[in-house]
């Protein structure tokens, strides 16, 4: 782990602390039963903002080799994400791709997005460091390089694979510490008329909906449109279109290229950021106060339910769930177990809180009175899937922006 002494975008040394979430284990470091007795390392989790350019970021960087070589998140586990990526691929193909086309995806995970392109007209290449996840993508026929994307790899690919008509990067730009290297790599690999398209959670949604649980060591940056523009401008690339999309609690999809006139969407969101007060530290301080209120309200609600003899489980052994559990001090004495669709997590225990992870069918079989929805970003999908449990009286607690029972 290294402590950052400079802003990841503007290199200013002036990083101001906004919210200290304490020492936390790595959010995806699920434990086997035999590991429960062993001490597990904690790393400071501190959300900061750059006093110079306003970019929100963590104060430390955990080595990517530790975080990403073996990775438990699979994009294809959620129907919501699979459908979102299918529409995403169609949209990109229609708007930007020549025929034939060449598409590279950074952080391609299990290949869910690349598979949605028409393989007869589009040559696709994934770049994904998680070896266990690459194995899954390859069995699905998606050619994948098992490396971290950086400038060196980008230059090598530009000569071996050729330059890309589209480079896509979803939920991975925030994971990269060396942002300058990333954008130099994108610049080198992108065909002259190519587009770089990226999606990542929007910092305004994080602040507004009090999604403090999306803060964990994998997420080094929390972007605004303004910060993203500033980053791409470093290599002469322009952010020419942006969309606000619903996934993961509210995300931005940015479109970046060379010599394309900016569309009205860009000015509109820049204005919104200004009006929100995103560029002042007051909006960040207000968020930190709300995060503490949310924690206190959730702890009080769960304590009342326990005192009344109710049984409580959790839904979604998500990385974000672990930030919430560890910040709120919720452990196996409060949540008996957590269910999750992902077979890579079932049978393991949550880091820090040591709560066992079971399969989703457990809820209906066991019928705890309450279930804390840790994966609130998939609320619609999960509530639909658990219709029967709910019909029989099971209730869900949605923690954000303030805990509510449905």
**CB-CB contact of 239 with 260 (8 Å):** no
Nearer to ligand SAH, 321 or 368 (CB): 321
Nearer to ligand SAH, 141 or 277 (CB): 141
Mask of contacts with ligand SAH, 88-117, x by CB under 6 A?
Answer: ------------------xx-x--------
Among ligand SAH, Zn ion, none, residue 53 binds (CB under 5-8 Å by kind): Zn ion
Interface of this chain with Zn ion, residues 31 to 50, rule: CB under 5 A: 50
Among 71, 88, 212, 349, binds ligand SAH (CB under 6 A): 71
Nearer to ligand SAH, 174 or 394 (CB): 174
Site membership for ligand SAH, residue 61 (CB under 6 A): no
Among 9, 127, 313, 317, binds ligand SAH (CB under 6 A): 127
- Helical packing angle, 225-233 and 264-276, nearest 10°: 120
Site membership for Zn ion, residue 180 (CB under 5 A): no
Site membership for ligand SAH, residue 175 (CB under 6 A): yes
Among 128, 205, 213, 241, binds ligand SAH (CB under 6 A): 128
Among Zn ion, ligand SAH, none, residue 171 binds (CB under 5-8 Å by kind): ligand SAH
Interface of this chain with ligand SAH, residues 72 to 91, rule: CB under 6 A: 73, 75, 81
Residue 394 beta carbon to ligand SAH: minimum distance, rounded to whole angstroms = 28
The footprint of ligand SAH (CB under 6 A) covers 64, 68, 71, 73, 75, 81, 106-107, 109, 127-130, 133, 148-149, 170-172, 175-176
Contacts with Zn ion by CB under 5 A lie at 7, 9-10, 12, 50, 52-53, 55
């Amino acid at each position: 782990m290294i402590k950052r002494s400079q802003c990841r975008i503007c290199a200013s040394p002036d990083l101001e602390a906004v919210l200290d979430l304490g020492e936390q284990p790595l959010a995806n470091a699920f434990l086997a039963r035999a590991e429960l007795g062993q001490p597990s390392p904690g790393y400071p989790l501190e959300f900061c903002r750059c006093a110079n350019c306003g970019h929100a970021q963590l104060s430390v960087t955990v080595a990517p080799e530790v975080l990403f070589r073996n990775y438990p998140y699979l994009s294809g586990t959620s129907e919501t994400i699979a459908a979102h990526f299918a529409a995403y691929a169609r949209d990109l193909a229609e708007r930007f791709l020549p025929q034939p086309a060449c598409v590279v995806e950074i952080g391609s995970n299990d290949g869910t997005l690349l598979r949605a392109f028409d393989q007869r007209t589009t040559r696709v290449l994934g770049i994904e460091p998680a070896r266990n996840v690459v194995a899954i993508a390859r069995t699905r026929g998606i050619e994948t390089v098992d490396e971290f994307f950086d400038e060196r790899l980008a230059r090598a690919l530009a000569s071996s694979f050729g330059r890309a008509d589209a480079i896509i990067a979803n939920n991975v730009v925030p994971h990269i510490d060396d942002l300058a290297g990333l954008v130099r790599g994108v610049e080198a690999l992108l065909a002259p008329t190519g587009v770089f398209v990226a999606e990542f959670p929007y910092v305004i949604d994080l602040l507004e909906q009090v999604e403090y649980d999306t803060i964990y060591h994998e997420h080094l940056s929390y972007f605004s449109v303004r910060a993203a523009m500033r980053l791409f401008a470093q290599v002469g690339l322009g952010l020419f279109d942006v969309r606000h999309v619903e996934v993961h609690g509210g995300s931005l999809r940015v479109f970046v290229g060379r010599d394309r006139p900016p569309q009205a969407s860009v000015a509109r969101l820049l204005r919104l950021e200004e009006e929100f007060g995103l560029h002042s530290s007051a909006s960040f301080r207000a968020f930190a106060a709300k995060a503490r209120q949310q924690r206190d309200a959730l702890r009080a609600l769960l304590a009342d339910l326990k005192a009344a003899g109710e049984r409580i489980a959790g839904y979604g052994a998500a990385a974000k769930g672990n930030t919430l559990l560890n910040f709120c001090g919720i452990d196996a004495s409060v949540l008996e177990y957590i269910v999750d669709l992902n077979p890579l997590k079932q049978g393991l225990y949550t880091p820090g809180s040591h709560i066992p992870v079971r399969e989703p069918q457990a809820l209906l079989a066991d019928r705890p009175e309450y279930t804390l929805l840790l994966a609130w970003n998939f609320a619609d999908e999960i509530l639909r899937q658990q219709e029967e449990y709910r019909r029989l009286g099971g209730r869900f607690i949605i923690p954000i922006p303030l805990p509510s029972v449905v």
